[in-house]
Amino acid sequence: MKIIKTSEYKTAWYNDPIDPEHINSNMNEFFETQQNSNPDEPNFAVDTRNKSVAISPSAKSAITKVLHALGKEYHQRIPLDEIFGVCKANGVVPLQEDGTEWSGFMSPQGPCGSDKANREPIRIELATQTPEGYMPAKNELIMTICTMASGNLEFVGYLS
């Protein structure tokens, strides 16, 4: 397995040896074989190297309203279902570093008021639905999640 650093924050894994001169052509091939415009189908992946599409104003407004409402209350758990649900309902898909739909777990960044909680927001890349399929969005989902002394979580989230 070969590991290639594609940007400051992204790494792609390939099963075949790659000549460094051919990284872009191999990455293009990877995304062409993985690309599927329906995130509910297998092999959904978006080439995140070219972020040229902004999320529509109506989708951004709907998502922002939910993020704002979630920030007004304290949580026992991170409200990912609510966040990702409103994103998907508005044609926006949260992505992992490899361009596939986000999955996994997330934990609070630290106690509220700590340096770590204040300086290290969680950034999730997004894809937005277009007539050509899902395209990488210029916007990102940015969140801070910290633990209060009571054990509840405080959430702040917005779209860039």
d(CA 126, CA 119) in angstroms, rounded, equals: 22
Tell whether the model's pLDDT for residue 33 goes beyond 80. no
d(CA 45, CA 35) in angstroms, rounded, equals: 5
Q: What is the pLDDT of residues 129-160, one digit of tens each?
A: 888 788 889 999 999 999 999 999 999 999 99
Q: What is the pLDDT of residues 9-19, one digit of tens each?
A: 444 444 444 45
Question: Taking residues 115-121, what's their average pLDDT?
Answer: 83
Percent of the chain residues past pLDDT 90, beyond the cut: 46
CA 105, chain centre distance (Å): 13
Domain ranges in the chain are 1-34, 48-159
Task: Determine the pLDDT at residue 81.
Answer: 93
